[in-house]
Amino acid sequence: MTALALAVLAASAGCRKAKVDAFPASGSVAGWEKTSDTRTFAAKDLWQYIDGDAEQYIQAGVVSTSTSDYKYQGQLEAIVDVYTMGDANGARKIFETDQGKDAKTVALGDAGIAYAQSVTFRKGPNLVRIVAYEHTPATQQALVALAHGVEEKL
């Protein structure tokens, strides 16, 4: 009986989802360097990061938001935002508002889109947006590669 209880306890502890670090380390995606510490905002503090945009995420059930800066080949700067919602519906809701007519579908997570300077995808309760500050011929391909690196960690 005691052994069974311990086994159940151990199993439930194992099922408890550990906090995911979704941010690829420097060099783990070819050409990409992580250039800042990861900053995380609870829902109640999200205004400090994206005041004005925060409400739509809060309404969709955001739990926390993490962000970090990246640089590609020492030049192209980008930012990765990972919004962890309460459930997949919340991520879907935000994802759908981001889809413009000129978005290109990409195979990422449960659904993904790319523009010339940005990639957005959702995977389970997570919504990921990666935005580059400049457009170069290599930008979109580099962003998609980084997005795959994030997807693998979610």
When binding is defined by CB under 8 A, the residue of 1, 14, 15, 52 that contacts another protein is 52
**74 touches another protein (CB under 8 A):** no
Q: Are 111 and 121 in contact (CB under 8 A)?
A: yes
Give 53 or 96: the residue with its C-beta nearer to another protein.
53
Q: Is 14 in the site for another protein (CB under 8 A)?
A: no
**CA distance linking residue 99 with residue 43, whole number of Å:** 23
Stretch that binds another protein, among 12-20, 23-31, 86-94, 125-133 (CB under 8 A): 125-133
Q: By CB under 8 A, name the one of 35, 47, 110, 154 that touches another protein.
A: 47
The Cα 153–Cα 74 span in angstroms is: 23
Q: How far is the CB of 36 from another protein (least distance, A)?
A: 10
Tokens of 54: 């925060």
Angle CA 71–74–75, to nearest 5: 80
Q: How many CA atoms lie within 13 A of 40 on its CB side?
A: 10
What is the pattern of x (binds another protein, CB under 8 A) and - over residues 80-119? ------------------x-x-xx-----------xxxx-
Q: What is the contact surface with another protein in residues (CB under 8 A)?
A: 47-56, 77, 79, 98, 100, 102-103, 115-118, 131-135
